[in-house]
Structure 1
């Protein structure tokens, strides 16, 4: 009953698109973290996929009003995110990569404290809200356990509970499943999927499988630039007939990496399965492989790395 009541509350909030245009950010040390990023993110789960250092956290922190941009704009509905930060914070739920808790407080005590900070002053309303959120995140039975005794997955679910306070219209979660065991990861996926039916949820991650399983829309970002955006299924369909695989001995890997456009490799039964990306089969020793999002991801990252490396000699000459 409480869980259904919470879902009803979430549904009553009018959906909003998040529109990012030409966003750039350079840090004082000269690192250009964002380079003209433009994205339109609708209601639902949106996957922001990229390796560590790609600019994902810089983008999330800027959207979450924790840092300013050098150029560009962000709008959440009719809210100017960069210039109306108090308004954004009223409708934002944020679960950063590093989420701290008071280890000696129980989940109930801490969530009640957060609810007061969010402006829920009425004790009866606050009690009902806290209970509903703990039910929603499957933590109600563990509500009186101190947070210091929570597992990693339980802490992440608690993080989502606090992010849902105040009926947000935008939820940002940064690398939420890193370090979770498979069972906790599955629970967290189910929770995010349910939440994502009613609001904009941005999932920032380097785990390709999370985006494949959860998101209707996605973008690949690397070195501060958006390399690809679209629907994960359609992105994979576009790669049909472009992925080729072969099993080789480990000692052959360097030669294959030099000779072919190898985008990924992994060990299997003491040997290495390599995957090449291209419009044509590299040679008769390769066979066609059914593509997945990981193949597309690795091909995009490699192409960006090669383009960046090709620019370095020209920059040195200049």
Structure 2
């Protein structure tokens, strides 16, 4: 099954153009959607989840027209939004069972088996009787995935799922997503580059409502090979370098800025070549391309 998005555009009443002629083909497996906050990722996810209408364009999930067959989409969709609320005074088992009924799993015996299996899959079975208000952030996210997996969805959308998780919970959550992605289309919308690097065989970079890159992380890394240069610089030199070079990232190391620039040839000035990573790819599209195009 494929998800085909063609020429999707959306402008909100306040004039913000959230999506600009977005076209993507997404196949089974883990698909990473990378972009900064405000890039249009959540607008795209909400449109795919039938929560808002686009101004123009088409979306096809297999033989289902997502924009005209919303009920059919919802039967086969699992969705974990960025802001996922739970009833704090209800235990996980009870709430998941209730959500299963809403998903159409009305047979009591079947529902009990499904709930048990999902709580085990998300490593929440031992805490099934605990009120959700007492769950950690990572446990709530795993509960969110459990509810998203009800009724064996063909498409799962997760929006910024690891934001705020500690390293152990993040790893546990990413391992769970990776397992799910073996048999399902899973769209991982995030601004955290490492999430995509570790999980996804296909990805897109989006900013200001436009798709800047679509392809595999490996292909993206090939595009910047031999083009990333690094230098440790005094703060006093930063402004001049920003004005004369395509600076794609800056970070303080030991109190002194270390910058990466994008250049086809050795820029001199003491810059050293380095092997670029996916973060450099991301920054090269978000910052470098803008600088070049300007």
Q: Shorter-chain TM-score category? A: over 0.9
The structure 1 residue matched to 2:97, chosen from 107, 112, 136, is 112
**Which residue in the other structure is 2:9 paired with?**
24
Question: How far, CA to CA, are the matches of 2:292 and 2:260 in structure 1?
Answer: 20
Matched, 1:176 2:183: no
Alpha carbons 2:246, 2:288 under 8 Å: kept: no
Question: How far, CA to CA, are the matches of 2:137 and 2:100 in structure 1?
Answer: 22
Structure 1 residues 288-299: aligned runs within 5 Å:
288-299=273-284
**Which residue in the other structure is 2:37 paired with?**
52
Find the residue that maps to 2:100 and give its secondary structure.
helix
**Which residue in the other structure is 1:83 paired with?**
68
The structure 2 residue matched to 1:224, chosen from 192, 196, 209, is 209
Report the more deviating stretch, 255-264 or 171-180. Answer: 255-264
Find the residue that maps to 1:246 and give its secondary structure.
strand
Question: How far, CA to CA, are the matches of 1:54 and 1:282 in structure 2?
Answer: 31
**Which residue in the other structure is 1:147 paired with?**
132
Alpha carbons 2:205, 2:282 under 8 Å: kept: yes
Calculate the TM-score normalised by the size of structure 2. 0.98
Question: How far, CA to CA, are the matches of 2:168 and 2:20 in structure 1?
Answer: 37
**Which residue in the other structure is 1:10 paired with?**
none
Alpha carbons 2:221, 2:276 under 8 Å: kept: yes
Structure 1 residues 1-318: aligned runs within 5 Å:
16-306=1-291, 310=294
Does the C-alpha gap of structure 1 residues 304 and 34 become closer, same or farther in structure 2, counting only changes over 3 Å?
farther
> Displacement, 1:234?
1.7
Report the more deviating stretch, 269-278 or 190-199. Answer: 269-278
Alpha carbons 2:76, 2:152 under 8 Å: kept: yes
Does the C-alpha gap of structure 1 residues 295 and 49 become closer, same or farther in structure 2, counting only changes over 3 Å?
same
Question: How far, CA to CA, are the matches of 1:135 and 1:253 in structure 2?
Answer: 52
Describe the superposition over 1:278-313 as per-residue Cα deviations: whole angstroms up to 9, x where unpaired: 1111114101010111111111111454478x4xxx
Question: How far, CA to CA, are the matches of 2:7 and 2:94 in structure 1?
Answer: 42
Q: Which runs of 5+ in 2 are unaligned?
A: none
Alpha carbons 2:8, 2:56 under 8 Å: kept: yes
Equivalences, count = 294
CA RMSD of aligned residues (A): 1.1
Question: How far, CA to CA, are the matches of 1:74 and 1:306 in structure 2?
Answer: 32
Q: Which runs of 5+ in 1 are unaligned?
A: 1-15, 311-318
Question: How far, CA to CA, are the matches of 2:176 and 2:83 in structure 1?
Answer: 19
Calculate the TM-score normalised by the size of structure 1. 0.91
> Displacement, 1:65?
0.3
Describe the superposition over 1:160-206 as per-residue Cα deviations: whole angstroms up to 9, x where unpaired: 00000011000000000001000000000100000000100000000
Find the residue that maps to 1:229 and give its secondary structure.
strand
> Displacement, 1:255?
2.1
